[in-house]
Amino acid sequence: MNAHDSEKVAGVLLARGYRQVESPDSADMVLFNTCSIREKAAQKVFTRLNDFRGQRGRNKVVGVLGCVAQQEGERIFERAPWVRMVCGSASYRNLPELLTEIEGGGTRVTGLNLDTDETFETEVTRRDNPFRAYLTIIEGCDYACSYCVVPHTRGPQRSRTSAAILNEVKHLVAGGFTEVQLLGQTVNSYRDPSAAQMNFSQLLRAVAAVPGIRRVRFTTSHPNDFTREIVDAIDSVPALCGHIHLPVQSGSSRILKEMRRTYTRAEYLERISWIRAAQRESSITTDIIVGFPGETDAEFTETLSLLDGVKFDGVFAFKYSPRPNTSAKDMPDAIPEEVKSQRLAILQQRQREIQISENQKFLASEFEVLVDGRHESRGQWSGRTTSNRIVNFTSPAQNLLGQYCQVKITGAGPNSLVGEHIA
């Protein structure tokens, strides 16, 4: 989502006549897009800003965008007085006005209003990935997970109209894209604000029906809004990709309650059973937080047993990091850093073993791969299956970038498959 926000902000600048330069040193304007999901990411910003310490009173404009901008607000000007603009993501639609102020010599220009029901629409978006186009369908978040800073930094949930989304998809096809990825913090909470009143699964079907679209991805889904209709849509529409990213966060119902995730372990597993019962094989990936306040060894073990039961295709695991403005920040029974690190290592090792043995099952299978890279030294092409699995493969063909190829799997590691081009 952050990468795509940057693409949209770059589009706003391009439309105003700015152009990209080779390095920050030669730029007249440097904007940092920032993340505050965990403390480490947020700290990075001030280290990077220090590189521009000498810019006070000079012509170079330094600005801070994104979640750290929203969270720290005007305090950024105190810590780094050479910064001239601070703007959170809920104010990006005001960027043209903020830029006008900056261009007129303004200092301490801010966009920090969170109270909005509007989304960020741009005429121009600079797409960095030529094969997969990102596309926001819903911004903000109305959940209140006790560890999470997002509702405080990205504001309330607001959906774009289905007409605006479908229009953008048609433009993307006209621009040569065949794969789109719909984005939102809780993408499947989508509610069309227009008279068409599409829900998420209806929108998925409508996007997949746009002529020229071959693959539709979406991320991130919230288990509470994950319906059988989504599984039915994937099952009956081949262009809808067979990959679901469904963050579980913990395998313990008590911890889930403390996290205010609004579902139990059993309810999460019920959604997994819907996906597994479908005709089409889909991959499932998840996010997990270890070391949430009060998490016992037994509760951590419940998370491990969930991994064993579900056999995820990929897991993004994080050590709990206390965040400002969240209710978990002041919870008792913080878990010591070394215990968090141990749990993370145990979990990652267990998951690695699961992925090694699961991926073996694909030996001799055939997949359609959209080619997005080349490893010259290994003589391999690289791409993704509909289920988002990475496949590295050999081929006698000359240039396959951007093409769909049939590949037969000949080898499997924990994070990727190896194969041969067969057609």
DSSP assignment string, 78-144? HH-TTEEEEE-GGGGGGHHHHHHHHHTT--SEEE-----------S----S-SSEEEEE-EES----
Point out which span in 130-138, 145-153, 197-205, 362-370 binds ligand SF4 (CB under 6 A): 145-153
145 lies in the binding site for ligand SF4 (CB under 6 A): yes
Q: Exactly one of 38, 126, 280, 350 binds ligand 5AD (CB under 6 A); which one?
A: 38
Helix (H, G, I), strand (E, B) or coil at 176: coil
- To the nearest 10 degrees (0 to 180), the angle between helices 297-310 and 337-360 is 10
Binding window for ligand 5AD (CB under 6 A); candidates: 63-71, 89-97, 171-179, 316-324: 316-324
Q: Which does 230 bind (CB under 5 to 8 A by kind): ligand 5AD, ligand SF4, none?
A: none
Of 190-249, binders to ligand 5AD (CB under 6 A) are 247, 249
Q: Which of 323, 343, 384, 389 binds ligand 5AD (CB under 6 A)?
A: 323
Q: Which of 318, 342, 373, 401 touches ligand 5AD by CB under 6 A?
A: 318
Task: Report residue 382 CA to chain centroid gap.
Answer: 21
Shorter beta-carbon distance to ligand SF4: residue 179 or 295: 295
- Gap between the Cα atoms of 392 and 394, Å rounded: 7
Q: What phi and psi, each to the nearest 5 degrees, are found at residue 112? A: -130, 10
The C-alpha atoms of residue 173 and residue 154 are separated, in whole angstroms, by: 29
Q: Please, what is the minimum distance in Å from the beta carbon of residue 319 to ligand 5AD? A: 6
Is residue 141 near ligand SF4 by the rule CB under 6 A?
yes
Is 114 one of the binding residues for ligand 5AD (CB under 6 A)? no
Given 15, 35, 106, 143, the residue binding ligand SF4 (CB under 6 A)? 143
Cβ-count burial of 287 within 10 angstroms (0-12 exposed, 13-18 middle, 19+ buried)?
middle
**Number of chain positions touching ligand 5AD (CB under 6 A):** 12
Instruction: In angstroms, give the least distance from the CB of 145 to ligand 5AD.
Output: 7
Query: By CB under 6 A, what part of segment 173-212 binds ligand SF4?
Result: 185-186
3 state SS of 237 = coil
**Token duo for residue 166:** 């479908």
With CB under 6 A as the contact rule, the residue among 169, 289, 391, 407 that binds ligand 5AD is 289
Burial class (CB in 10 A: 0-12, 13-18, 19+), 229: middle
Q: Which is nearer to ligand SF4, 89 or 186 (CB)?
A: 186
Q: Does 150 bind ligand SF4 (CB under 6 A)?
A: yes
In sequence order, what are the residues at sequence separation of 6 or more whose Cβ sits closer than 8 angstroms to the Cβ of residue 168?
Answer: 135
Q: Number of residues in contact with ligand SF4, rule: CB under 6 A?
A: 9
Does position 274 bind ligand SF4 by CB under 6 A? no
**Distance in angstroms (rounded) separating the CA atoms of residues 28 and 265:** 51
> Which residues of this protein are in contact with ligand SF4, per CB under 6 A?
141, 143, 145, 148, 150-151, 185-186, 222
> Which residues of this protein are in contact with ligand 5AD, per CB under 6 A?
37-38, 147-148, 247, 249, 287, 289, 318, 320-321, 323
